[in-house]
Amino acid sequence: MKLAEIAARIEGKLSGNGETEIRGIAALGEAQEGDITFLLSRSFERLIPDCRASAYIVGEDADQALLAGRSVIAVANPDLAQALTAELFDIPRTFEKGVSPSAYVSPRAHVSGKASILPYVYVDEGAVVEANVLIYPFCFVGRDAIVGEDTVIYPNVSIYAGTVIGRRVIVHAGAVLGSDGFGYVWDGRRHKKKPQIGMLEIEDDVEIGANTCIDRATLHKTVVAKGTKIDNLVQISHNVSVGNNSVMAAQVGIAGSSSLGKNVVFGGKVGVADHVAVGDNVMAAGGTGITKSVKANSIVAGNPHMAHRDWLKMQGYLRRLPDLFERVRKMESRLPQEGEDDRDR
């Protein structure tokens, strides 16, 4: 691919030889001749003198003197440009359309002739698999489930009965969608299971990480809204609603009947208590324990959660505790001890 073509695709300003042939993309520290690399932060400019890449994607504020004599594409957002460039080199594997002879599809299921159902997939009765869906081996698609167009289901995914998956969804290996919510009531002798007769709906353009579990609702539905991106090993419980374009990192846990607004961002290991409402645009640092509702546009941290600025102050106080303890100990050593007065000192 010519460098000028890449510049046009990412809407960048090219300086240098647009006819340079680019064969791959690599990080600054590993790039070789024929690669295009990227400078996401000026803190990495120290790597440029030893870099052998054929071209560079940089921010508009990059040190031009350091890049003199090199082929460069300057962009407003290097992170986005890197993602767009990577797409040009990410050629997905294609499979023949149709159902593998080693797969089982119920005669009462509806599978598009344009879908690719690979060996050892099980599609139950009433299920719908739409055009250009790709389902890898050892997946289960339950009764009356729906898998929307252009969706990719990686190996060993279990899609329980009645689950609805939208278009262009990516579900990574081992995920479990629509399993029973964790609902029990004590009847005086034992834990009585509450039947989970609701459903799960995954809207368009969602990505779900490996071994993530999302429960069906007790009565109505659990919802993951459009554009949400979920990392590996996340647990989303019954009756939860997640708003558009939210992002959550690994090991997030959201308890039942909680709601997240749109554009919510959770770092790793964030925990959300049940029946909590998290507003739009909330950001929670890794390890945050959200125990009560959070107003829109808040940034929180800590367990239990607090405003991020307050959490930072608390960390400062904690670091100074050893010195404070030592000062108090010295002050106590100068005070009268029990059973003595000043004349004894």
* CA atoms lying within 13 Å on the CB side of residue 343: 0
Q: Which two tokens stand for residue 299?
A: 């940034």
Strand order in the sheet with 289-290: 104-105, 122-123, 140-141, 158-159, 176-179, 213-215, 235-236, 253-254, 271-272, 289-290
**How many CA atoms within 13 Å lie on the side-chain side of 167?**
4
The verdict on whether 238 is a catalytic residue reads yes
Q: Which among 110, 172, 238, 305 is annotated as catalytic?
A: 238
Q: Token digits for 35? A: 């690669």
Quickly count: other Cβ atoms within 10 Å of residue 95's Cβ.
Answer: 14
Number of Cβ within a 10 Å radius of residue 228: 24
From the list 267, 202, 254, 255, the residue with the least C-alpha distance to 228 is 202
User: Is the CB of residue 62 less than 8 Å from the CB of residue 81?
Assistant: no
Phi, psi (degrees; rounded to nearest 5) at 311: -65, -40
Residue entry with tokens 């791959």: 24
Q: In angstroms, rounded to a whole number, what is the distance separating the alpha carbons of residues 77 and 82?
A: 9
Axis crossing angle, helix 78-89 with helix 3-10, rounded to the nearest 10: 120
Active site residues: 238
